Amino acid sequence: MAAGAGRRMGGRPKGLLRREGEPLVLRQVRLLREAGLERVALVLGHHAEAIEAALQAAGPLAGQVRRVRNPAPDAGPGGSLRCGLAALGAEIQEVMVLLADQPLLEVQDLQAMQAAWRERPAGVELVFPQHDGQPGHPIVFGAGLRALLLGSAAAGVREWRRAHPAQALAVPVAHARCTTDVDTPEDLVRLERAHGVRLEP
């Protein structure tokens, strides 16, 4: 999901911040492909043209991504999620969701969530990473929750998780990669100080 305006980042597209020269949004797509995800949908909104241009410049990677625009990106992440779910196609039964502004994710984080989904207890409809009590991304869910989210303009994953705690499995992780995102210039400073990761415009 990469539809936000980045207002707290001075109106810059956070997905185009570069880690070691690679825009974050392209880094996320690459991680998804390396983790074996069959189909990738990129949800755009604000800054769609700039992100599209970066994707096209990536060459073959551009052809592996379905792009969809959220016509109301300021209405909240639930709308962007529904746009992405619709773009994937009805035959997709299992979905992983991650955010464009998560600069620390590695492919093993995605693989860990895939494993947690495969090994989940009966009745679990959602798995998500949790570090130091904080939920993060990527999350994984199946057809039942997907249908519910697509069928309700009011439902969001966070609200559903809080209302159905027995059906949501928190996967403890010992690191902050899944819970670290960047919203402000101050976050960029903290990211470099705490993790040695520098993001550049």
Q: What is the pLDDT of residues 166-180, one digit of tens each?
A: 999 999 999 999 999
* Torsions phi, psi for 185 (to 5 deg): -60, -35
What whole-number distance in Å separates Cα of residue 79 and Cα of residue 171? 26
pTM over 0.85: yes
The amino acid sitting at 170 is A
Q: Where are the domains of the chain?
A: 7-200
- Determine the pLDDT at residue 154: 64
Q: What is the pLDDT of residues 95-142, one digit of tens each?
A: 999 999 999 999 999 999 999 999 999 999 999 999 999 999 999 999
What whole-number distance in Å separates Cα of residue 64 and Cα of residue 43? 14
Own/partner pairs for 79-83, CB < 8 Å, 24+ apart? 79/153, 80/1, 80/3, 80/43, 80/45, 81/1, 81/43, 81/149, 81/156, 81/157, 82/149, 82/150, 82/153, 83/3, 83/43
Q: What is the pLDDT of residues 175-199, one digit of tens each?
A: 999 999 999 999 999 999 999 999 9
- Determine the pLDDT at residue 176: 96
Whether domain 7-200 has CATH 3.90.550.10: the reply is: yes
